[in-house]
Amino acid sequence: MLMRWQRWNRKAKLWLWVITLVGVVAAMPLGISRIAMEKSANTIEYVFDHRDIVEVAELRSNPKQFLSDKVDLLKESGISTMSVYESSLKELMQAGRLTYYNEKEAALLQGKLPDERVNYTYVLFNGREEEDKIGPILREAYGRMQVPIRNWSFDGRPGLIIEESLSAAVLKTLDFDPMTIQELLDKGFHILPRFSDRVVPYDSERTAAQLERLKSYGVTRILFDGEKAKGTSDQSALNSLDSFGELLKQYDIGLIAIENLKKPQQGINKLAYVTDYNVTRLYSLSPEDSIEMTQEGIVDRFLLAAKDRNIRMFFLNTMNQGSTDTGLLNHSVDKLAAAMSGPNGVVAQLEAAGYTTGLAQPFSFDKPAWEKPLRGVVALGAIAIITLLISAFIPHISILVFLLGLIGSAGLFVLNSSLMEQALALGAAVSGPTLALIWVMNRIYSRTIGERRMVGGEEWTVGNAAQESDGRTQWVFPSVSIGRRIGIALNWFVVATCISLTAVPLVFGLLNNITYSLVLEQFRGVSLLHLGPIALITLYILLYESSEGRGVFGRAVKLLRQPILVMWVVIAAIVGAVGFYYLSRTGNSGQVTWVELIIRNWLESTFGVRPRFKEFMLGHPPLLLGLFLAIRYRAAWVLIIVGIIGQLTMVSTFTHIHTPLYISIVRTLLGLGAGLIIGGIFIAVWIVLEGAWRKWLAPMIRKHSA
């Protein structure tokens, strides 16, 4: 019975590969659908923070003229949209709509002694127009918050008395300033309002009136200010997010998701779902970067964001920066205008790359009926390849693991379908590169120490391994011609790459959802993907190859009984430092050296798409060199462990769902081409050095020894 079970499991491996390949084929239409979606919106919108310009202008000798001139300059440079915030007393005063005073200042203004019994806020409008347009906003806001407010005037100017302290009054969030909006519309700008969740409790009627007014101004999209989307705080009590989302749909107003926030804005996922994912991604250039970065750096960053991360809105900020060295108050408005305009500016460069300037549009996507069953087939393929990985370490349980995988995935799908997709995608991403290198190591074993096959939990050896049988480790294997070694190395590299790439369609097929393209959801387990295959292949080499004929358990026990030497501690420290650097480069926040930046910029300007440095320098060349050397030298297996970085990074590239699929494909192909060239150079250098050693250095050493 045991032998029959083992035979069934050996046959099951073939069927598991068949299921895996069927899953790969099923993912292809999903990839084509995604490429069509990614090409459906190529309009770029450039937004400037109007509040920033107002604050910069406030400290100039002629604020109004400065503000008007700089706004006109930005319009000429290609900025099409101005962002406005829900206002406050402070912002209304900065905009020249009113002036406010505390109790003592108001008494001094009127030539009176302050009334010690009260501490009110006094507001004077700058004219009748301001009273007509801003007065109702103040009355509505403070009345809604049950703060008494009454009319007041001084020296012929109309005003209001707000019966609370100035410190409290300036904290209140008011409605948008209609006068500022009209001024910007008159200059030809589109308006981007920034809503907050500071107006509570949520009032659907007030919000509907706001959206109706904004729609009349031509608003097509809103951006949230702060950590929460409007309606988040009252969702549990009032279903405010659902209400706000339905209002956005009613007025055909979309949302904006900000890239690279430390923490996503709360509630935006819910609103995105309610509005049928009428969402555009935005990159924000910080005030500090706007001052410190060069114009060329800004252009490069924007171009890369649009091409590589599907960014369709760019938000520019500025700030006042005082310098005691020069005695000047600096800002970045002029530099940003210069970076945007001209033949080498942002607008021209992005238009040359195929991105027109206008209002950002959401990606067009649909879910045809055939997509769901295809994703089910892709999920079966992922379960199959994960089963193959597990059975590579624990033979004879393939059928059991596959069945458990089916049951577990079905249960997880019911509980959380998104988590199930991500778990299978992660498992497939780890399995592909690991299986590729296991296949490589088995080919190396068969050509050097003899092929090892599992029989009842132990191994028996086939091939010429006489020098291994006496318990001594063989470090140098029989010589093979250079041409033959190169041919074998290239063959193994190609096959290993194909095995690794089987995981790619499974990953993008499982994660084929607009939520990943908009980064409302993200692939989880990036660090595990980058460390898992390295750890697994190292474990495989340590436990599944030995010169002593021990079982896996016996080799594990022997390793645990080894004394810890100082050299081991030093090696562990070095490996830890290298691993820390490797992980620091992983993900969107990864750090790179200035040398890499130069290489990246050259690759970007030469090919339009830059391959990943970890592939064409740290991964593929060591693997190709390691395969060439492993046929002759056991120590070269270390290079193969390092070389798995290139294989897993290829798969990792496709976990960045916000990157266009065709960009990931081109990037991977360029990385393979560059890696093969650099690896070929490494092999050539080794051949020359090895020839020099044998012809001159080795005889010289033997002569001196004699």
pLDDT of res. 463? 45
690, two tokens: 């090895």
| Torsion of Cα atoms, 575 then 581 then 584 then 585, to 10° | -110
Report the C-alpha gap between 458 and 613 in whole angstroms.
41
Distance between CA 60 and CA 48 in Å, rounded? 19
The pLDDT, as a whole number, for residue 553 is 57
* Helix (H/G/I), strand (E/B), else coil: 322: strand
Measured between alpha carbons, how far is residue 406 from residues 10, 14, 372, 459 in Å? 19, 18, 17, 30
The overall average pLDDT reported for the chain is 86
Q: Which residue in 319, 324, 259, 327 sits closest to 290, CA to CA?
A: 319
Q: Which residue has the tokens 């820390």?
A: 580
Token pair listed for 107: 């008494």
From 123-137, 159-173, 608-622, 679-693, the region with the lowest mean pLDDT:
608-622
Point out the least confidently predicted range of 175-179, 270-274, 323-327, 656-660.
Answer: 323-327
Which whole number is the average pLDDT over 592-609? 62
Residue 474 predicted with pLDDT over 90 = no
- For residue 398, what pLDDT is reported? 86
Q: Encoding tokens for residue 529?
A: 């993907």
Contact between 545 and 473 (Cβ < 8 Å): no
**Count of CA atoms in the C-beta half-sphere (13 A) of 257:** 31
Backbone angle region of 525, left / alpha / beta, with phi > 0 → left and psi within -120 to 50 → alpha: left
Cα–Cα distance measured from residue 481 to residue 499, given in angstroms and rounded to the nearest whole number: 27
Please report the sign of the dihedral spanned by the C-alpha atoms of residue 479, residue 555, residue 427, residue 618.
negative
Taking Cα atoms as reference points, which of 313, 346, 318 lies closest to residue 331? 318
Q: Who contacts 123 (Cβ-Cβ below 8 Å, separation ≥6)?
A: 89, 98, 99, 100, 101, 138, 152, 159, 160, 161, 162
Q: What is the pLDDT of residue 369?
A: 82
- Secondary structure element (H or E) that encloses residue 440, with its range: helix 417-447
CA-closest candidate to residue 386, choices 375, 401, 407: 401
Bridge partners, residue 82, by sequence: 48, 191
Helix, strand, or coil here: 359? coil
Q: Which residues contact 546 (CB under 8 A, 6 or more apart)?
A: 555
- Which residue, 500, 615, 647, is CA-closest to 24? 500
Give the residue-averaged pLDDT of 278-295. Answer: 93
Q: Is the dihedral of CA 531, 537, 543, 546 positive or negative?
A: negative
Confidence band of 557 (pLDDT split at 50, 70, 90): low
DSSP state letters, 164-188: S-HHHHTTS-----HHHHHHHHHTT
Q: Phi/psi of residue 663, each to 5°?
A: -65, -45
Contact criterion met (CB below 8 Å) for 129 and 165: no
Looking at the predicted structure, is the pLDDT value of residue 361 above 90? yes
Residue with tokens 């798995």: 644
Per-residue pLDDT at 604 exceeds 70: no
Residue 139, pLDDT > 90, answer yes
CB atoms within 10 A of CB 274: 19
pLDDT digits (tens, 9 = 90+) for 72-128: 999 999 999 999 999 999 999 999 999 999 999 999 998 888 888 889 999 999 999
Q: Which residue's structure tokens are 């199959």?
A: 384
pLDDT value, residue 573:
61
Identify which has the larger pLDDT, 212 or 560: 212
What confidence score (pLDDT) does residue 578 get? 54
- Cross-strand partners of 461: 452
C-alpha distances (whole Å) from 459 to each of 394, 410, 448, 456, 472 are: 13, 36, 16, 8, 18
Helix (H), strand (E) at residue 499: helix 482-501
Residue 456: the pLDDT is: 37
List CB contacts of 308: < 8 A, sequence separation 6 or more: 609, 659, 660, 663
Give 675-690 pLDDT, tens digit per residue.
999 999 999 999 888 7
Position of tokens 């500022």?
180
* Domains defined for the chain, CATH in brackets: 2-38+366-705 (no CATH), 43-86+176-357 (3.20.20), 87-175 (3.30.70)
Residue 201, preceding bond cis, omega within 30 degrees? yes
Question: Which residues, 6+ apart, have CB-to-CB distance to 240 below 8 Å?
Answer: 202, 204, 230, 231, 232, 233, 234
What pLDDT is attached to residue 705?
A: 61
DSSP annotation of 479 reads: P
pTM: 0.84
Among 579, 577, 572, 474, smallest CA distance to 534 is for 579
Amino acid identity at 48: F
Residue pLDDT, tens place only, 626-638: 999 988 888 888 8
C-alpha span between 349 and 627 (Å, rounded)? 43
Task: Convert the pLDDT of each residue in 420-437 to its tens digit.
Answer: 999 999 999 999 999 999
CB atoms within 10 A of CB 472: 10
Please say if the pLDDT value at position 565 is more than 60.
Answer: no
DSSP output for 125-149? ESSHHHHHHHHHHHHHHHHHTT--E
Provide mean pLDDT across the span 138-166.
94
Asked whether residue 509 carries a pLDDT value surpassing 50, the answer given is: yes
Residue 217 parent element (H or E): none
Residue-level pLDDT at 579: 56
For the residues 448-455, what does the mean pLDDT come to? 55
Instruction: Specify whether the CB–CB gap between 216 and 246 falls below 8 A.
Output: no
Predicted pLDDT of residue 142: 94
Q: Is the pLDDT of residue 412 over 60?
A: yes
* Best CA proximity match to 659, nearest among 489, 507, 498, 479: 507
Q: Diameter of the chain by CA atoms?
A: 112
